[in-house]
Amino acid sequence: MTRYLISFPSGAMDHIPVEEMPAVGEAAHAVVREAMDAGVLVFGGGLAADVDPVMVAGDGTITAGTYPQTKEFDGGFTILDAPSREAALEWAAKLAAACRCAQEIREFGADAAVGN
């Protein structure tokens, strides 16, 4: 199986009224439970918006921020171990419906040294 990152930026949900967010959360958690039951969920969650990212160099130097060329990465993500790209796209569609926003999907490269 192949691992996939399914994600969305936090701003993608700005169109959802605050009073509807509990329903969105419940719908998203239902998809996550379904993925768990199907045995494809590896990990999922949202990045803490109140904790700033830092860069750590090889010598241990710590600087605030991210790579200059990197767009801001925030919001929610799910990592799946799916049998095919088509299956991963189906899960992404379920998450998009639950979260009421489009999902970006990327495939992790294989690395035999770590067992995938």
Q: What is the C-alpha separation between 48 and 35, in angstroms, rounded?
A: 23
Residue corresponding to tokens 């790579």: 67
| Residues 83 and 39: beta-carbon distance below 8 Å | no
Question: Which domains can be identified in the chain, with CATH numbers?
Answer: 2-110 (3.30.70.1060)
Profile the chain (116 residues) by mean pLDDT over runs of 10 residues. Answer: 90 93 95 96 89 92 86 83 96 96 92 79
Q: What letter would DSSP give residue 70? A: S
Neighbours of 91 (CB within 10 A): 22
The amino acid at 104: E
